Amino acid sequence: MTIPNRPSLADLSRMSLGKIAALSSETLLLLQEEADEALRRAKAAKDGLDGALDRKYGSIAAELRKREDRDTGTVRFDDGNIIVVADLPKKVEWDQDRLAATVERIRAAGNDPAEYVELAFKVPERKYTAWPGHIRSAFEAARTVRTGKPSFVLKPQSS
C-alpha cells in the first residue's frame, strides 16, 4: 500500500497528537508497522550490544565483586578514559509454600509474623469473576479497578 506524502516516523515527533490522529487509518497502519519493526531492530541491536559489553567487561566486574566478597551489585572501573559502571542486580524469589509454612510456625510460637515479613493478599481476577455474587460483594469494598495504557493494533482487512 503506497500513500503519497505519507509522514514518516521521524515526522511524528514534530506533529501534534491531533494531526496524527487525523491521519487515515491506512497511514496509521503503515506507521504502526514501521514503528514495530524499528522497535524490533532497536531491541535486537541493544541485545547484541549488551552481550558484547558483558563479554568485554563481565569477567572484570565479576572479579571486582569477588574481591569485595559480593555476588551482586554495582562496581566501577576505568577502561582508558571511560568509566564503566557494571551492575548485576539481585533478584530474590521466595518459595511461597515454604514461606507460608514459616509464617505459620512463627504465629504458632506466639510471635507476630508481621515483624519479619510483609503479608499481602492477592485475588486473581479470573477467580473473582467466577465467585458467586454474595462472595464477590463481601470483597467489593477492598477492590479497586484501574486501567492500564490503552493499545491498538491495526491490521489490513484480508481480501
Instruction: Express each pLDDT in 108-158 by its tens digit.
Output: 999 999 999 998 889 999 999 999 999 999 999 999 999 888 777 877 887
Per the listing, cell 512463627 goes with 106
Instruction: Express each pLDDT in 53-107 by its tens digit.
Output: 999 999 999 999 999 999 999 999 999 999 999 999 999 889 989 999 999 999 9
Rounded to whole angstroms, the Cα distance separating 115 from 112 reads 6
Domain boundaries, given as residue ranges, for the chain: 9-88, 96-142
Single-letter amino acid, residue 158: S
3-state secondary structure of 88: strand
